[in-house]
A and B are shown apart, each in its own frame.
Chain A
Amino acid sequence: MTNTTLSRRQFVVTTVAAGGAFALGVGVASSPAEAALLRDSPWNDDSMNKPGEINAWVVIQPDDTVIIRYGRAEMGQGSFTAMPQILAEELECDWEKVRPEYASANRNLRDNKVYGTLATGGSRAIREQGVLVQQAGASARERLIAAAAKRWNVATTECEAAMSKVTHKMSGRTFRFGELAVEAAAIKLDKEPALKRPDQYKFIGRRLARLDVPLKINGAAKYGIDLEVPDMVRAAIIKSPVFGGTVKSVDESGIKSRRGGVQVVKLPNAVAVVADRYYRAQAALNALKIEWEVGANGTTNSTQFRKMYLDALNEKGAEARHDGNVDTAFAGAAKTIEATYDVPIIAHAPMEPLNAIAHVQGDRVDVWVGTQNADAALTVAAQNSGVKPENVYIHNTFSGGGFGRRLGPDEVGQAVAISKIVGKPVKLLWTREEEIRQGRYRTQAAIKFKAGFAADGTATALEMRNSAGSGNPAAAQNGIDQQTLQGLINTAYKLPNFRIISILKQTHVPLGPWRAPGHSQNVFFVESFVDEMAYAVKKDPIAFRRELLAHRPDFQQVIDLLVEKSDWGKPMPKGKGRGVAVHESYDSIVGMVAEVTVAGGQVKVDRVVIVADVGTVVNPRGVENQLEGGMIYGLSAALFGEITVKDGRVEQGNFDTYPVVRFKDAPKTEVYISPTPGKRWGGIGEPGATMIQPAVTNAIFAATGRRLRSLPVRGQDLSGSV
């Protein structure tokens, strides 16, 4: 399986990528029809035990097509290609024959969670399911071999599998996988085969082109928003703009005699309008006069919330970790420093606003939605319809970004409720304003640090007092929600005396996981303060970090490469600076150096160098993609990200008031992988979003001497700086 497994499609693409523009002029590009066995909609038909289904993950059809089930959702992170790539390594199939499809949530429910969780989050597709999928591929291969050996009446050891064929080595006879699949499905192995060692990988580690890309350059890929089902009506919605509010009254006089079968649907906390066209539904909704019952929440605002989180830092709180004794250490320290940081709430703003089609009919519910969490979508649809979960079918589509927002299926619950009322399939679409104002936001948070040093500048003690909101306060134990402490409690830095205090505070604002939850704000906090610690004892920020990471050779290796590639230590002109951040999350170590220019009070991030140790790399291109993209996602938060609340409701509504990074803000980016194959499978969807935030503010400090202890950068006064 060397060059032959590089299909013509892969070969064309990789040749072009390596050879430069001229090659493409010569090579005829593959057409999408040829390139993608992938259909424009990835869900499957929810059936079990199809002919040729060797196990829940692999179906081989008579024409040799290999259907590989994918136990996650593709929202841009690329694991819809990477997971099949892992399985194909063991299966020894022809990559050209592989057609991935989503695993069925309904089957997952009925078939004893055969796919584990389908929730896509925590950068854990490969970390959690990689080995499972390898085993599924290896098992299928051995059973195909056993089926062939049985037909030939030879020992399985005389046969081998490659390129979707089983060959009897001595005679050269072959069977195609498609000829063997039905028999293979009936074979039981005495024991599951051993997996390949990393040094035996031929397919894992390749820069394969993504299978979904051909569908995403011509408008062919179907997202939830693109689907239609027969007799469907379209719905627009507004939920109480003050979280927790309810509908008090709706004045429909403004929409009399409108075209399109306009109908107002009242939910307890939201008002929807259905019509034959979305535009008509939305226009009618805009013309309604709605009064909301908002209660005391309607008088709250972000200034109060910020004061609450900052004041809370003086409370006793709950001790989440204590190594050594920080009080004794501070008492004996030659020098101590303190600083307080905080961040506002931020929204996810995926490109595709939330939407879902629901059809409630009798004892069956169908939902078409691009969700990160098909299991949860199924549960919510069952709850909101009253139909048994076994009779709920989630047809999960491509989604236009998730970043955590599509984990809590609010849109599914609404669409199901509306469909139940109107008795038809309903396609519900949120406006961008609804998406920004009805988020499950990253928590507002504050932290107070204190560090102690010995006379020689060695750091001896560190205390962090953190106040934040929990996305799931009911699950907090003893005043501690582990997620709010991610990136603090598991910091790789080692100090003999170390304490973390957790103080949980809730407002009425709904909170949820934002890409790299916990880490996202906490890495900004820690990596900023560690920078302060370095400067306090007049040490180079990287040299100082190396001291605190002396016990971690893997980190040192990442830092070595980071120093080399980022030109760390080379002088920079006035007004420019470099900032560093390193962190371990999701079993990956990532370091970043950002270069900024500060001029006339404006910050421009010029260049970002990223080094990552993710253990075994399945697809280097995927790793690079996620690190680049994650970095940009975090950069939006660093530079611009701020949701404010006034009179209990979110003030921002669209990209004019909630700006995000565009071309002009996007730095030149370089990604380098520090390879450690075989050590572990590291996650890569989220780590990139965290380090960039402190790397930028640390660079601003290097350029200007101004330490930013709040985000976003926008709106902070840098005008007087150098």
Chain B
Amino acid sequence: MANIIVNGTRHQIDVEPETPLLWVLREEIGLTGTKFGCGIAQCGACTVHVDGQAIRSCSVTVRTVENKQITTIEGLSRDSSHPVQQAWLAEQVPQCGYCQSGQIMATVAFLKATPNPTDAQIDANLTNICRCGTYERLRRAVHRAAALMRT
């Protein structure tokens, strides 16, 4: 049994404690916005927040996040109104879109720590992979989100 709190809701889940959080989110709770990309914390498609910190849920066991506050893309806002999502919409960032849940979650955590980032800080701290190559738009959207969050 694992006790986890996801997007404010507590779940008791009957899984092996070494199950990666990613698969608990996707297959036990049905939150499929968090994606599987590599399984070894390389790509960031599975990024969620645990107590506000961005983590790669494919490489964290459900045991280690029990009773912590987990936020997924579905819990970021009810209506895509989070400034980071709004910036993504305005800059029309996604192409295939598969990595974008992870990109958005990574950015939300990053901007909390770095509210007014430079390009160099973005490049050094955001390490999620996008195979469609949306980095130019991602950078613009990160700056736009930062500006929105300052207002």
Min CB distance B26 to A, Å, is: 8
Q: A16-B90, A279-B19, A666-B135 are in contact. Are A398 and B96 (CB under 8 A)?
A: yes
Whether, in the assembled complex, B54 has its beta carbon less than 8 Å from a beta carbon of chain A, the answer is no
Partner among A351, A399, A636 whose Cβ is within 8 Å of the Cβ of B35: A351
Q: Which residue of A lies closest to B75 (CB)?
A: A219
Q: A224: shortest Cβ distance to chain B, in Å?
A: 10
Contact A432 B95 (CB under 8 A): no
Known: A277-B23, A351-B131, A666-B133. A656 touches B36 (CB 8 A): no
Q: Do B136 and A655 touch (CB < 8 A)? A: no
- Contact: A656 with B139, CB < 8 Å? no
A197-216 contact mask (Cβ, 8 Å, vs B): 1 or 0: 00000000000011011111
Mark out the residues of chain B between 102 and 151 whose CB falls within 8 Å of any chain A CB in the assembled complex.
Answer: 104, 122-124, 126-139, 144, 147-148, 151
A76 and B129 in contact (CB under 8 A), knowing A25-B151, A431-B39? Answer: no
CA distance A77 to B134 in the complex (A): 11
From A217, A398, A625, contact of B85 by CB (8 A): A217
Interface string of B10-25 (1 = CB under 8 A from A): 0000011001100100
Instruction: List A residues at the B interface (Cβ < 8 Å).
Output: 13, 16-17, 21-22, 24-25, 29, 31-33, 75-78, 209-210, 212-223, 225-226, 228, 234, 259, 277-280, 349-353, 398-403, 429, 431-432, 621, 625, 628-633, 635-636, 654-656, 660-664, 666, 668-669
> B97–A77 contact, CB under 8 A?
no
A31 touches B36 (CB 8 A): no
CB distance from B60 to the nearest CB of A (A): 13
B127 & A403 in contact (Cβ 8 Å cutoff): no
A353 near B73 with CB under 8 A, answer no
Docked CA distance A329–B88 (Å): 57
Taking a contact as CB atoms closer than 8 A, the residue among B74, B77, B131 that contacts A403 in the complex is B131
Alpha-carbon distance A619/B79, docked complex (angstroms): 27
Would A353 and B36 be within 8 Å (CB), given that A29-B80, A76-B97 are in contact?
yes
Out of A32, A352, A663, which one reaches B37, CB within 8 Å? Answer: A352
> Cβ of B123: which chain A residues have Cβ within 8 Å of it?
663-664, 666
Residues of B participating in the A interface, judged by any CB pair closer than 8 Å: 15-16, 19-20, 23, 26-28, 30-40, 42-43, 45, 72-74, 76-77, 79-81, 85-101, 104, 122-124, 126-139, 144, 147-148, 151
Could you tell me if B38 and A220 are in contact, using CB atoms closer than 8 angstroms?
no
With A16-B90, A24-B86 given, is the CB distance from A655 to B42 under 8 Å?
Answer: yes
- A77–B20 Cα distance when bound, in Å, is 32
Closest to A34 in B: B79
Instruction: Show 27 A/B contacts (Cβ-Cβ < 8 Å), sorted by A.
Output: A21-B144, A21-B147, A24-B86, A25-B148, A31-B80, A33-B79, A76-B97, A216-B94, A217-B94, A218-B80, A218-B101, A225-B35, A226-B26, A259-B16, A279-B20, A350-B98, A351-B99, A401-B98, A402-B96, A432-B39, A629-B133, A629-B134, A632-B132, A632-B133, A633-B131, A663-B122, A663-B127
Of all chain B residues, the one with the shortest Cβ separation from A429 is B36
Smallest CB-CB separation from B133: which chain A residue? A632
A654 to B38, Cβ gap below 8 A?
yes
Q: Which of B124, B134, B135 has the most CB of A within 10 A?
A: B135
Q: Which of A32, A222, A630, A655 contacts B129 (CB 8 A)?
A: A655
Among B27, B73, B98, B133, the one with the most A-chain Cβ atoms within 10 Å of its Cβ is B133
| Complex-state Cα separation, A187 to B78, whole angstroms | 46
Q: Is the CB of B42 within 8 A of A400?
A: no
Taking CB atoms, residues of chain A closer than 8 Å to B33 are 218-220
Cβ–Cβ < 8 Å partners of A654 in chain B:
38-40, 42
Q: Which residue of A lies closest to B22 (CB)?
A: A279
Q: Which 6 A-B pairs have the closest CB atoms?
A: A219-B33, A632-B133, A400-B98, A216-B97, A76-B96, A76-B95
Q: A13-B92, A219-B32, A629-B134 are in contact. List 5 more A-B contacts (CB 8 A).
A: A213-B93, A351-B35, A351-B37, A663-B139, A666-B139
Which of B35, B72, B92 contacts A213 (CB under 8 A)?
A: B92
Shortest B127–chain A CB gap in Å is: 6
Give CA–CA (A553, B90) in the complex, Å: 37
Closest to A431 in B: B39
Name the residue of chain A whose CB is nearest to the CB of B83: A24
Please report the C-alpha to C-alpha distance between residue A33 and residue B77 in the assembled complex, in whole angstroms: 13
* Contacting residues, chain B, for A29 (C-beta < 8 A): 80-81, 86, 89-90
A31 with B79: CB separation less than 8 A: yes
Q: Pick the residue among B35, B90, B100, B132 that contacts A24 (CB under 8 A).
A: B90
- Name the residue of chain A whose CB is nearest to the CB of B143: A21
> What residues on B are CB-neighbors of A210 within 8 Å?
92, 94
B97, A398: Cβ atoms closer than 8 Å: yes
The answer to whether residues A13 and B89 also contact, given A29-B81, A654-B38, A663-B139 and a CB cut-off of 8 A, is yes
CB distance from A264 to the nearest CB of B (A): 19
Chain B residue at minimum C-beta to C-beta distance from A670? B136
The answer to whether A352 and B101 touch across the interface, beta carbons within 8 angstroms, is no
Task: Give A433's nearest chain B residue, CB to CB.
Answer: B39
Q: Is the CB of A24 within 8 A of B148?
A: yes
User: Are A218 and B133 in contact (CB-based, < 8 A)?
Assistant: no
Pick from A75, A218, A353 the residue with the most CB of B within 10 Å.
A218
**Contacting residues, chain B, for A21 (C-beta < 8 A):** 144, 147-148, 151
Min C-beta distance of B149 to chain A, whole Å: 10
Please tell me if the beta carbons of A621 and B132 are within 8 angstroms of each other in the complex: no
**For B81, what are the chain A residues with a Cβ–Cβ distance below 8 Å?**
29, 31
Asked if A219 contacts B96 (CB within 8 A), the reply is: no
* Chain B residues near A226 (CB-CB < 8 A): 26, 32
From A223, A259, A279, A632, name the one whose CB has the most chain B CB atoms within 10 angstroms: A279
**Min distance, Cβ B51 to any Cβ of chain A, angstroms:** 20
Q: Are A353 and B37 in contact (CB under 8 A)?
A: yes
Contacts of A353 in B (CB 8 A): 36-37
